[in-house]
Amino acid sequence: MIEIKQVSKKYRLKDHEVVAVDDVSLKINDGDIYGIIGYSGAGKSTLVRLINQLEVQDKGKIFIDNQDLGSLSQSELRKLRTKIGMIFQHFNLLWSRTVSQNIELALEIAGNKDKQLRHKKVQELVKLVGLTGRENAYPSELSGGQKQRVAIARALANDPKILLCDEATSALDPQTTEAILLLLKKINCELGITILLITHEMNVIKKICNKVAVMKSGKIIEKGDT
Ligand code: ADP
């Protein structure tokens, strides 16, 4: 479970301050597909960066499985981050690495030194995301949907409990969006991974989320069942 309690985050610019996240409280239960919807600049990405502590809040507390993130050491935080996968609008793949190598990199970075085990895991993930046969392709040889499938496989490499999706379908056409959302739903159901999905598109929320929060000017202005 992710619990966000009265969290605020300000950015100090040269001549003014921006309150990106303003006194936000939210509870995301295990197994939820929780959508956060809002216009650009509403504070959605900042909230996601606070959950994996790439940014630190000015006020409030964030708990994951009852663990106060503010009380963790740097090494405990690094360990926690391996249990939180993330995917992005523009995929963030390495262009000089193949599909398999992009996925394997996540395992190498997490310190998995067993090459055979890594290869087995990569094979499983390639199959899960529907890319069998494209293992040796480079990102430039893939469609947008296929690139996002690689990014999803990479995000799942270290068996995360939580998957954060930041506008993950915003660069895709409607048909591909539909296929990627179905894949996320499958991952949620089959692997039991909690998904937090941020988007500016209501159809994305309608399609797969069970819970939704509406964000505006840093605040949650409405939340509940979809
Ligand atoms: P969204 O994801 O909903 O588009 P963001 O979280 O990216 O919103 O941004 C919320 C507000 O915080 C915006 O006004 C944005 O300009 C500002 N902001 C975000 N990141 C930074 C940063 N690193 N430095 C300064 N301002 C930022």
Tokens 């391996």 sit at which residue?
A: 82
User: Which tens digits make up the pLDDT trace of 75-110?
Assistant: 999 888 889 999 999 999 999 999 999 999 999 999
> What pLDDT is attached to residue 82?
87
Largest CA distance in the chain: 55
Q: pLDDT tens across 119-155, in order?
A: 999 999 999 999 999 999 999 999 999 999 999 999 9
Query: Which ligand 1 atom sits nearest the alpha carbon of residue 200?
Result: 3
Q: Residue 79: its pLDDT value, please? A: 87
Model confidence, pTM: 0.95
Model confidence over 2-35: pLDDT tens digits? 999 999 999 999 999 999 999 999 999 999 999 9
Query: What are the percentages of helix, strand and coil residues in the chain, rounded to 5?
Result: 40, 30, 35
Q: Taking residues 59-71, what's their average pLDDT?
A: 95
Protein residue with least CA distance to atom 24, ligand 1: 11
pLDDT average, residue stretch 158-184: 96
HEC profile for 80-118? Answer: HHHCEEEEECCCCCCCCCCHHHHHHHHHHHCCCCCHHHH
Q: Do residues 63 and 13 lie in contact, with contact meaning Cβ atoms separated by under 8 Å?
A: no
The answer to whether the CB of 18 is under 6 A from ligand 1 is yes
Tell me, using a 6 A CB cutoff, whether residue 8 lines ligand 1.
Answer: no
Percent of residues, the chain, with pLDDT higher than 70 = 100
Residue 63 has pLDDT above 90, yes or no: yes
CA 41 to ligand 1 centroid distance, Å: 6
Task: Say what the pLDDT of residue 46 is.
Answer: 97
Q: Tokens 């067993």: give the residue.
A: 114
> What is the average per-residue pLDDT within 39-67?
95
Residue 22 forms beta bridges with which residues? none
Tell me the best of 11, 55, 56 to mutate to test the pocket of ligand 1, counting ligand atoms within 8 Å of each CB and taking the most.
11
Residue 199 Cβ inside 6 Å of ligand 1? The answer reads: no
Tell me the CA–centroid distance for residue 20 and ligand 1, in Å. 6
Q: How far is Cα 157 from Cα 121, in angstroms, rounded to an integer?
A: 7
